[in-house]
């Protein structure tokens, strides 16, 4: 019997991972290392090459430091031709290793702008991966399959390592006067994950000025934590999800909380929304929309909000300077983890919102908090594996999932991606 989660590896059959004929077009190994050396303006990595030689890559200025052992030259072939998709494939095949993947990903993220195309898919691989990604576009007929690929891994899977509230988005830790950890907000790591997730939900709901009887639409309701918190503030909530697993869990939680008269969970695409609402909340759902559908997503919000109504979003964005290259192909996350996904290009997204009569107010970025959230998730995931709480998933899947959590943690630590909350008011 096949292990659970094996469908995520189907990318191997469709995306270009740098092997085969595409690998023949790779530049010489020294040239790849030279490009990395030039692009790593801050920090660097100690490279142990397949022939036993050592080379220092980068180190032009202080920054993140890692050590990478290249067990096969094929690792550089995959990186040079297929970027992060090929780099993961090389790691999975044992063609390179590092004792601290987070530090390595932080290094690449911190230098993403100056690295240019040195660590991105290029040539034929870029076009192949862009096409495959486009075929998994979140059109109405495909969106449910894309969501199911990730979220229908099973409620038991997520319950084993998320907090008790089953909140699968960045927590927000207590504010403190510490500096130098990310955005203008610093974190208080001693705060429990459950408390930090509850605090994040409170911050998002505070933006909506909910009153008893307020009609709230939640686009992407997950397992119901925000809906329950809003209902306890007196709101009448309609939650949308495309995951059958999430719907069943959320409805059970709503019933247990005695809030069935205040919360309705629908298995429904946001594009099918009708009616008018006083407020809309959406926490890290827009990343599953895709650039092609950003206008439609914002049209839905503008159409569904009453005049003067407020929408609160939590979203993950990528540095605007990187977006053109990022959107031209597909990265590791899009290939293996979130089919059809796309991080937000904030300037473009804000312009689309304003063009629909929606303001863009009170943006609060807290990327360092996401790095801490991911670190805690990984620790909880490892503990779940150790106690046997993730039955049915094999070692290959566990390696993929840990890689994913570390890849994202490094991205937030390196600040090429950010998470933020913002309020949009319909004029």
The C-alpha atoms of residue 396 and residue 146 are separated, in whole angstroms, by: 21
Burial 244-262 (b: 16+ CB within 10 A, else e): ebbbebbbebbeeeebeeb
Is there a catalytic annotation at residue 221? Answer: no
Of 342, 408, 417, 424, the active-site residue reads: 408
Active-site residue list: 408
């Amino acid at each position: 019997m096949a292990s659970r989660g094996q469908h995520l590896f189907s990318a191997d059959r469709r995306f270009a991972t740098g092997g085969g004929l595409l690998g023949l077009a790779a530049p010489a190994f020294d040239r790849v290392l030279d490009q990395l050396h030039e692009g790593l303006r801050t920090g660097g990595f100690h490279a142990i090459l397949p022939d036993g030689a050592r080379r220092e890559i980068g180190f032009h200025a202080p920054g993140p430091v890692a050590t990478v052992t290249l067990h096969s030259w094929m690792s550089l072939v995959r990186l040079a031709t297929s970027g992060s998709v090929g780099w993961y494939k090389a790691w999975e095949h044992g063609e390179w290793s590092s004792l601290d993947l987070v530090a390595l990903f932080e290094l690449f993220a911190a230098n993403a702008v100056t690295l240019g195309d040195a660590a991105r898919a290029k040539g034929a691989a870029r076009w192949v991966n862009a096409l495959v990604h486009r075929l998994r576009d979140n059109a109405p007929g495909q969106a449910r399959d894309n969501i199911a690929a990730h979220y229908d891994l099973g409620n038991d899977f997520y319950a084993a390592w998320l907090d008790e509230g089953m909140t699968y988005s960045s927590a927000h830790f207590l504010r403190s006067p510490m500096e130098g950890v990310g955005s203008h907000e610093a974190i208080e790591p001693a705060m429990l994950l459950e408390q930090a997730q509850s605090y994040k939900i409170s911050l998002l709901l505070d933006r909506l000025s909910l009153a008893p009887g307020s009609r709230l639409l939640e686009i992407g309701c997950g397992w119901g934590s925000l809906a329950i918190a809003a209902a306890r503030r007196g709101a009448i909530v309609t939650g949308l999800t495309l995951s059958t697993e999430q719907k069943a869990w959320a409805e059970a939680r709503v019933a247990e909380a005695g809030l069935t008269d205040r919360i309705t969970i629908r298995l429904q695409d946001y594009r099918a929304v009708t009616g008018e609402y006083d407020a809309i909340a959406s926490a890290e759902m827009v990343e599953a929309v895709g650039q092609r559908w950003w206008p439609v997503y914002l049209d839905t919000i503008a159409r569904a909000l009453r005049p003067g109504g407020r929408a609160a979003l939590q979203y993950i964005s990528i540095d605007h300077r990187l977006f053109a290259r990022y959107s031209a192909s597909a990265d590791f996350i899009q290939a293996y983890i979130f089919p059809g996904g796309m991080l937000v290009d904030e300037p473009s997204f804000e312009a689309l919102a304003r063009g629909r009569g929606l303001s863009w107010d009170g943006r609060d970025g807290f990327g360092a908090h996401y790095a801490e959230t991911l670190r805690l998730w990984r620790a909880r995931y490892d503990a779940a594996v150790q106690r046997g709480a993730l039955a049915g998933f094999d070692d290959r899947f566990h390696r993929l999932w840990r890689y994913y959590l570390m890849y994202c943690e490094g991205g937030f630590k390196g600040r090429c991606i950010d998470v933020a909350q913002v309020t949009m008011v319909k004029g």
